[in-house]
Amino acid sequence: MDIKDISSEELRKLASSLKQQGITNDSVLNIMSTIQRHIFVEPALRGRAYDFDALPIGFNQTISSPYIVAKMTQLLIETESMENVLEIGTGCGYQACVLSNLFEHVTTIERIKPLYEKTSNLLKALNYKNISSIYGDGFEGCKSNAPYDAIIMTASPSVIPDELVSQLKPNGRMVLPLNINGSQKLYRIKNTKKGILKKEVDDVLFVPMLEGII
Ligand code: SAH
């Protein structure tokens, strides 16, 4: 059996375990059962690509577990306003691909140059035409593609970056792992007329969001 056959069987199992773990959105389940996760990890780790773990992607960074990707994506979805999304922390590009099947346009930012180069080449090779891959500091967002319906942060900051909030549309939403006194919580925030509404969702563990590019 080649890896394609193995992965379609694994993808079916992955989607059904996501459902069992409480992922309810059918679009998220459908998309995650079509994207071959093994393509995004190192060849040596491909056998573990459909396990429920976060995996190393080099440069001291990790691809989040499928459950966390599904959970965060589900939190970003609203029936209307699925045009423009910003992701902070491109990493291996898996989350960006999931988003690109749901939103009309995805902008994704990575601060580590070789990781940015490797992933933007992969995304080009996979022919994802609605993803703009940017080398830069996510704290600055990407003004030229703003405003965004939604922003997802896949590295953990210790404050909600004001600059990113300013790049959200009115009623835009942001999902982020916020580090408060050393422990991380997943939040969904909404940019309303009355100010920022903040909802705590879960305990999580992400790599820290660091300033500047390298
Ligand atoms: N979404 C990714 C997960 C990557 S892990 C995936 O699907 O693979 C988080 C990533 O955030 C790392 O690659 C890290 O380098 C990046 N990161 C951390 N701080 C950042 C910042 N200030 N700007 C942009 N990327 C950042």
What pLDDT digit, counting tens, does each position of 91-130 carry? Answer: 999 999 999 999 999 999 999 999 999 999 999 999 999 9
Q: Using CA positions, which residue lies closest to atom 11 of ligand 1?
A: 89
Burial class (CB in 10 A: 0-12, 13-18, 19+), 58: middle
Q: What is the CATH number of the domain that holds 184?
A: 3.40.50.150
Amino acid residing at 141:
G
Of 8, 17, 33, 64, which one is the catalytic site residue?
64
pLDDT tier at 42 (50, 70, 90 boundaries)? confident
Please check whether residue 213 lies inside any domain of the structure.
no
Please check whether residue 209 lies inside any domain of the structure.
no
Whether 47 has a pLDDT exceeding 60, the answer reads: yes
Q: Which residue has the higher pLDDT, 6 or 188?
A: 188
Please check whether residue 214 lies inside any domain of the structure.
no
Whether 4 has a pLDDT exceeding 80, the answer reads: no
What's the count of helices (H) and strands (E) in the chain, helices before strands? 6, 9
Whether 155 has a pLDDT exceeding 90, the answer reads: yes
Cα 138 to ligand 1 centroid, rounded to whole Å? 8
Whether 2 has a pLDDT exceeding 60, the answer reads: no
64 has catalytic annotation: yes
List all residues whose CB is within 6 A of at least one atom of ligand 1. 57, 61-64, 88-89, 91-92, 94-95, 109-112, 115, 137-139, 154-155, 207, 209-211
pLDDT of amino acid 7: 82
Q: Using CA positions, which residue lies closest to atom 19 of ligand 1?
A: 209
pLDDT tier at 43 (50, 70, 90 boundaries)? confident
Please check whether residue 145 lies inside any domain of the structure.
yes
Please check whether residue 27 lies inside any domain of the structure.
yes
- Give the C-alpha distances (Å, rounded to integers) separating 208 from 49, 166, 177: 23, 22, 9
Please check whether residue 128 lies inside any domain of the structure.
yes
Please check whether residue 28 lies inside any domain of the structure.
yes
Dist. CA 132–CA 124, nearest whole Å: 10
Please check whether residue 208 lies inside any domain of the structure.
no
If you average pLDDT over every residue of the chain, what do you get? 94
Whether 3 has a pLDDT exceeding 60, the answer reads: no
User: pTM of the predicted model, to two decimals?
Assistant: 0.96
Q: What percent of the chain has pLDDT over 70?
A: 97
Number of domains into which the chain is organized: 1
Domain that includes residue 27, residue range:
3-203
Mean pLDDT of 23-49: 93
The values of phi and psi at residue 145, to 5°, are -100, 0
Quickly list DSSP for 63-96. EPPHHHHHHHHHHH--SS--SEEEEE--TTSHHH
| 171-212 pLDDT per residue, tens | 999 999 999 999 999 999 999 999 999 999 999 999 999 999
Mean pLDDT of 133-145: 98
